[in-house]
Chain A
Amino acid sequence: MLSIKNLRVSINGKEILRGINLEVRPGEVHAIMGPNGTGKSTLASVIAGRDIYDITEGEILFKGKNLLDMAIEERASEGIFLGFQYPVEIPGVSITNFMRTAVNEQRKYRGLDPMPANEFLAKMEEKKQLLEIQAKLANRSVNEGFSGGEKKKNEIFQMAMLEPSLAILDETDSGLDIDALKIVAAGVNKLRKADNAFLVITHYQRLLEYIVPDIVHVLYDGRIVRSGGKELAVELEEKGYEWIKAEIA
């Protein structure tokens, strides 16, 4: 589904990703871990198409198509979703209105008519229940005045509404209390299907107890320095990153 080959990315002349290789197949959950500032969010943004980076080498294919040729909104409509580490506030725009616009623009890209209003509202209702989101939230402006946890929950809610084939969740667990973490994880698990995939960026093994990954990668200094099964996350939690640094030094 997602195939990244030798991806090198710089910003303002500073190289941040230094040859990333990654293969994600349908149905898989990949976790990406790694110390602060090693390029995890950068990787997520580059996949989503943010255009402030210089891609100096490599390629990204998504469902066989060259992602680097596509605009941000095209990638989204092709099925890429990014749950932001720091969700942005859009004052005065209700979540309902925001989601309706997003759903219908994606449908338009796929040659579909806008979703009928009643169908859309029913879907909103269903997904709110899935994530135990209060009814009122949908009438509030996107992320405006939301608590840290509410913002993260709202990201997953949007993911549920848009049903992407590849969801990249950037530290969705940070800011969530234990109950919210379980609800979000249960929500993600319900959305797991044979034909979609997840890329979960996290610092904590705890999330991976609920969303069990097929593969765990360690990103260090712009490179994936180690990949393994879910035990790798446990090992990192116990030992920290020092032993990896020592090993690759």
Chain B
Amino acid sequence: MEKDPNNILDEVTQGEYKYGFYSDIEMETAPMGLSEDTIRYISAKKNEPDWLLQYRLDAYQKWLSMTEPTWAHIHHPPINYQEIIFYAAPKKKKEYSSIDEIDPELIETFNKLGISLEEQKRLTGVAVDAVIDSVSVKTTFSETLEKQGIIFCSFSEAVQKVPDLVKQYLGTVVPTHDNFYAALNSAVFSDGSFCYIPKGVRCPIELSTYFRINAANTGQFERTLIIGDEGSYVSYMEGCTAPMRDENQLHAAIVEIIALKDAEVKYSTVQNWYPGNKKGEGGIYNFVTKRGICKGNNSKISWTQVETGSAITWKYPSVVLLGDNSVGEFYSVAVTNNYQQADTGSKMIHLGRNTKSTIISKGISAGHSSNSYRGLVKMTKRAENSRNFSQCDSLLLGDKCGAHTFPYIKTENKTSIVEHEATTSKISDDQLFYCNQRGISTESAIGLIVNGYAREVLKQLPMEFAVEAQKLLSISLEGSVG
């Protein structure tokens, strides 16, 4: 019954990644490396209109002149972009009209992930647009949605079906030259989701996408575009798992959200890409640009994220509050364990009057990991009477991990109020003793306490997701946060 608390922490923080398998599906891939030819190859594969090819080539030129950002609190060996395959798609002969036609291996993959499409269809009423590597394989519920004029499909499909909408909004929130990884994505993006909610329509179901990185050595570059037209509402969920791999894999996605007048868009993510092993080998590099713009008055965008995966996370879901009275929210739980590194937070750029933003960030660090919050709140001159409230909490498990907070605040007017609070805490021995005394093992106790700590964020998630996220946190604790 020797119980050195450090040993227990070690034990619980050293569980293995549970989604480490990979499926043997026939793949069609682009030649390795990046050049104009690669981009033409991708664009041709997707049968894209010329303007989109030009968009990609333009982004590529910009990318060539840019360098990787170095300001984040993360470290990794240089990435060789000539050793990456920029496009991989399951070889497919025709469109699937029923789930029975889908490669059994693929179904098996979904089953292992616990997201069988049939199950999802029948039980939860969630429309799933499953993206396996680069091509959207199956879209469900699209008919129900179509009746309301909602467009929810893969990005490539949208390019064919509604090219004008795509052209009108693509790159308007995250321009091609926004940052190094955004430029890269704009040049080589493979696929992703597209969503348009027409005027006055409340999307009746939660929209959901599951992403997976599958083929070996495949960088994945999703591109997602969500447009909430005037007075519309949508809640969108993205979840990811990636199979175990030895080499680091690059993942550089872009998500753009546009909320027009009186529209509300909620975007929820549960991210558990492969974090690498206990020694810090392997794992996903997750360099993502997510940004929304509250374009019209009284519009609202909320980001909620639960981040437990990836070797490195570099991600700052942001909101540009352009419309008067618009609202931006960011709720985040970021867990790092072993040698994971996370540099994540949010930017709230207040441009409109009476705009309001909230940032709630809960960092949980274990093992030798490093967990940083980086946030920017900017009140421009025009953003009179605006408010921001930021709360950044860190919970440390063990004494070998690090937590850092980098809040940047810029205020250019006198009527706005910015509040920032930060705390750092540990799980106390008294709390563990109390739980143990009720018969609760230390591992479960840590799971409970961490879930309690993250509750403010978890309760922002849609029901279906909240349950999954709670389990994930506990696994991350048994398996990762312990």
Which A residues form the contact surface with B (CB < 8 A)?
48-52, 68-73, 76-77, 81-82, 84, 87-88, 90-93, 97-98, 101-102, 105-106, 109, 141, 158, 162
Contacts and interface: CB of A to CB of B under 8 A. Distances in A.
Q: How big is the B interface, by class?
A: 20 to 34
A97 B436 contact: no
Nearest to B448: A93
B439 A93 contact: no
B433 interface: yes
B123 interface: no
B444 A105 contact: yes
B213 to A, nearest CB: 32
Contacts of A92: 451-456
A106 B453 CA distance: 24
B437 A82 contact: yes
B433 A72 contact: yes
Contacts of B442: 73
A72 B454 CA distance: 26
A105 B451 contact: no
A119 B434 CA distance: 25
Interface string B430-450: 110111111111101000110
B3 interface: yes
Nearest to A106: B439
B3 A91 contact: no
Given A77-B439, A101-B444, A88 B1 contact: no
B439 A76 contact: yes
Interface in B400-429: 428-429
Contacts, number: 80
A101 B443 CA distance: 12
Contacts of B438: 76, 98, 102, 158, 162
A106 B454 CA distance: 25
Given A71-B1, A71-B3, A76 B437 contact: yes
A206 to B, nearest CB: 27
Given A70-B1, A71-B1, A71-B3, A90 B439 contact: no
B430 A73 contact: no
Contacts of A49: 1, 436-437
Contacts of A73: 436-437, 439-442
Do most interface residues of chain B lie in helix, strand or loop, or is the interface mixed? helix
Given A101-B444, A105-B441, A162-B439, A93 B433 contact: no
A102 B439 contact: yes
A205 B479 CA distance: 50
A91 B434 CA distance: 13
Contacts of A98: 435, 438, 448
A219 to B, nearest CB: 21
Contact of B434 (A68, A77, A87): A87
Given A51-B3, A90-B431, A101-B444, A72 B436 contact: yes
A71 B439 CA distance: 10
A113 to B, nearest CB: 16
A57 to B, nearest CB: 17
Contacts of A90: 431, 434-435, 448-449, 452
Contacts of A93: 448-449, 451-452, 455
Given A71-B1, A90-B448, A90-B452, A50 B440 contact: no
B430 A88 contact: yes
Contacts of A84: 434, 437
A70 B441 CA distance: 13
Which of B431, B433, B451, B456 has the most chain A CB atoms inside 10 A of its CB?
Answer: B433
B439 A105 contact: yes
Contacts of B455: 92-93
Given A50-B433, A88-B431, A109 B439 contact: yes
B55 to A, nearest CB: 45
A68 B455 CA distance: 36
B396 to A, nearest CB: 16
A140 to B, nearest CB: 12
B440 A71 contact: no
24 contacts: A49-B437, A71-B1, A71-B436, A72-B433, A72-B437, A73-B436, A76-B437, A87-B434, A88-B430, A88-B434, A90-B435, A90-B452, A92-B454, A92-B456, A93-B448, A93-B452, A97-B448, A102-B439, A102-B440, A105-B439, A106-B439, A141-B452, A162-B438, A162-B439
